Structure 1
Amino acid sequence: MRTNAQTKLTNTATGAVIILSDSLYPEGEHDWSAIVSNTKYALDGTMIVEQSERKAGRPYTMQAPNGHGVLTLATINSLKAERDKLGATFWLDYLSNDTVQRVKVVFDTTQKAIEATPVKGTNSPKLTDYYNVTLRFLEIPSE
């Protein structure tokens, strides 16, 4: 696991920090647009285009190729504990374009916010065992 404290999740209220793998990266980073459009046609056939800017809600699905974005079971347990805190918000720092990007997020609990698959199958996992992970967040306004 490659970590150097640049990719991390920080609880904005408590300051608790969870170090993540620097191999985790937002999947589909370029798919989301801050501009949304709606089109309709007037009675005379003229197209009407309405546009506005989204203020928040960008999804952040943090993934890495298999075997590259692994976290220990202990780290996953820490993430689950943070996910289950009602109203908790976080700073997500991750590497992109040779710099550290920072966004304010919440866990996306409308779906599986944390998916973890063991790298090696075992009947009694240890806290030091590694898991491939997918983490899902939603960006919120940072005020």
Structure 2
Amino acid sequence: MDTKLTNVATNAVIELDDELYPSDEHEWSSLVSSTKYALDGTMIVEQSIRKAGKPYTMQAPSDMGWLTRSTVNALKAERDKLGATYWLDYRADGAVKRVKVIFDTTGDDAVTATPAKEFISPSLDDPFIVTLKFLEIPSV
């Protein structure tokens, strides 16, 4: 498996399914612009390059990319570590890409998991459909 999440400080690795892929990969631009008007009506445009903050929403089709309850529990434990940073490795464009990320905890959905099948007594091996939300941070 190429897709994994590695805690930068502890080197703890959580293996992820290779079917997980950043679904919002093409919805973000590093170029940001701001416009305003001067008193004489002239439009003023300022542009800059964002240095970080790209969202990585890792998802797979509902019939692929399942993770076990045990893996989901490990991801939630990592999500709740204050100040933790991670290396996210995933396969794209015929290569393994690596980005430095944090969990996107701006909402309550940094890790969402839905049982892949109906069951009454969940075990650690039961499959879950997951969505993981991260934000890229500078890798210095």
Q: What is the distance in 2 between the residues matched to 1:136 and 1:123?
A: 28
| RMSD of Structure 2 on Structure 1 (CA) | 0.8
Residue identity opposite 1:8 in structure 2 = K
Per the TM alignment, residue 11 of structure 1 is displaced from its structure 2 partner at its CA by 0.3
Secondary structure in structure 2 of the residue aligned to 1:29: coil
Q: Which residue in the other structure is 1:118 paired with?
A: 115
Return structure 1 stretches of 4+ with deviation > 3 angstroms.
none
Could you tell me which runs of 5 or more consecutive residues in structure 1 were left unpaired when the two chains were aligned: none
Is 1:130 aligned to 2:127, yes or no? yes
Secondary structure in structure 2 of the residue aligned to 1:79: helix
1:16-55 alignment runs, 5 A limit: 16-55=12-51
Could you tell me which runs of 5 or more consecutive residues in structure 2 were left unpaired when the two chains were aligned: none
Per the TM alignment, residue 100 of structure 1 is displaced from its structure 2 partner at its CA by 0.6
Q: Which residue in the other structure is 1:62 paired with?
A: 58
Q: What is the distance in 1 between the residues matched to 2:72 and 2:95?
A: 25
Residue identity opposite 1:44 in structure 2 = D
Report % sequence identity.
67
Secondary structure in structure 2 of the residue aligned to 1:81: helix
Q: What is the distance in 2 between the residues matched to 1:44 and 1:110?
A: 40
Is 1:83 aligned to 2:83, yes or no? no
Choose the corresponding residue for 1:108, options 104, 108, 113.
104
Q: Map Cα deviations across residues 85-138 of structure 1 (whole Å, 9 max, x no partner).
A: 111100000011011110000111112110000011112111001000000001
Per the TM alignment, residue 69 of structure 1 is displaced from its structure 2 partner at its CA by 1.4
> TM-score normalised to the size of structure 2?
0.96
Per the TM alignment, residue 31 of structure 1 is displaced from its structure 2 partner at its CA by 0.9
How many residue pairs get aligned? The number is: 139
Residue identity opposite 2:5 in structure 1 = L
> TM-score normalised to the size of structure 1?
0.94
Secondary structure in structure 1 of the residue aligned to 2:19: coil
